[in-house]
Chains A and B, each alone.
Chain A
Amino acid sequence: NAGVMQNPRHLVRRRGQEARLRCSPMKGHSHVYWYRQLPEEGLKFMVYLQKENIIDESGMPKERFSAEFPKEGPSILRIQQVVRGDSAAYFCASSRRLAGDYNEQFFGPGTRLTVL
């Protein structure tokens, strides 16, 4: 049973380019969460999605960032016109989130984005 998969594991972009990060949830999980981790800091929530729906994007920067989780295929976190401050590790987590469940989230290995 494969865990949460993310790719690429490392991504280098120049300022102004676009970054696309992909996340495939664990089998049986239909809820996806994206977090960002800056060096020496904890993880910060960005967005929560279910298939074809954004449920909560309260942690997402208002500009340049977008996320989707299509009916088929992985969830995508897209960062347009990247800046040096976007350099971070981006983690995806997934859960089953059954009624009455405690929303146990399982994390992928992350994508390390470096903006030159």
Chain B
Amino acid sequence: QQQVKQSPQSLIVQKGGISIINCAYENTAFDYFPWYQQFPGKGPALLIAIRPDVSEKKEGRFTISFNKSAKQFSLHIMDSQPGDSATYFCAASMQTGNQFYFGTGTSLTVIP
């Protein structure tokens, strides 16, 4: 059973455009939602994270939007750059839990 569902599986965006990746979860006990960026052959790197007490968090060109009632959260990458081309994973966890539950990943390609 996939605890966190992620879409789309792949995304192609023009340079300067906005990339949007969506995730949905079922377990209302989740209280921490990080996004990870992974380049080929590398480990996932924490990009940005949000807690359910806020609806939006912005760091530079990266924004997380969080909708607690819909149990959905999304990553927006503004002014997308070719260097943003990577696989992005959303995840969810509980403060009292031991593991992160990962989405299946979105392969983003930003074309010049």
Contact B43 A4 (CB under 8 A): yes
Contact A48 B98 (CB under 8 A): yes
Q: Does B61 contact A (CB under 8 A)?
A: no
How many pairs of A and B residues are in contact by the CB < 8 Å rule?
64
Using A41-B105, A43-B102, A45-B100 as known contacts, say yes or no to A103 and B95 having CB atoms under 8 A apart.
yes
Nearest A residue to B94 via CB reads: A103
Please, which residues of chain A bring their CB within 8 A of the CB of B46? 104-106
Q: Does A110 contact B (CB under 8 A)?
A: yes
Residue of B43, B45, B93 contacting most chain A CB atoms (<10 Å) = B43
Nearest A residue to B95 via CB reads: A102
Please, which residues of chain B bring their CB within 8 A of the CB of A41? 104-105
Out of B4, B43, B97, name the residue touching A91 (CB < 8 Å): B43
Contact B104 A109 (CB under 8 A): no
Provide the A22-55 mask, 1 if CB < 8 A to any CB of B, else 0.
0000000000010100001111110010000001
How many residues does chain A have at the interface if contact means C-beta atoms less than 8 Å apart?
Answer: 27
Contact B100 A105 (CB under 8 A): yes
Contact B43 A103 (CB under 8 A): no
Please, which residues of chain B bring their CB within 8 A of the CB of A44? 102
Contact A107 B99 (CB under 8 A): no
Contact B42 A48 (CB under 8 A): no
Q: Does A18 contact B (CB under 8 A)?
A: no
Using A48-B99, A107-B45 as known contacts, say yes or no to A102 and B104 having CB atoms under 8 A apart.
no
Interface residues of A in 83-116 (CB under 8 A from B): 91, 100-110
Q: Does B49 contact A (CB under 8 A)?
A: yes
- The distance in angstroms between the C-alpha atoms of A20 and B77, with both chains bound, is 38
Binding site for A on B (CB under 8 A): 4, 6, 31-32, 34, 36, 41-46, 49, 51, 89, 93, 95, 97-105
Top 3 nearest A-B pairs (CB, nearest first) are A42-B102, A45-B99, A107-B43
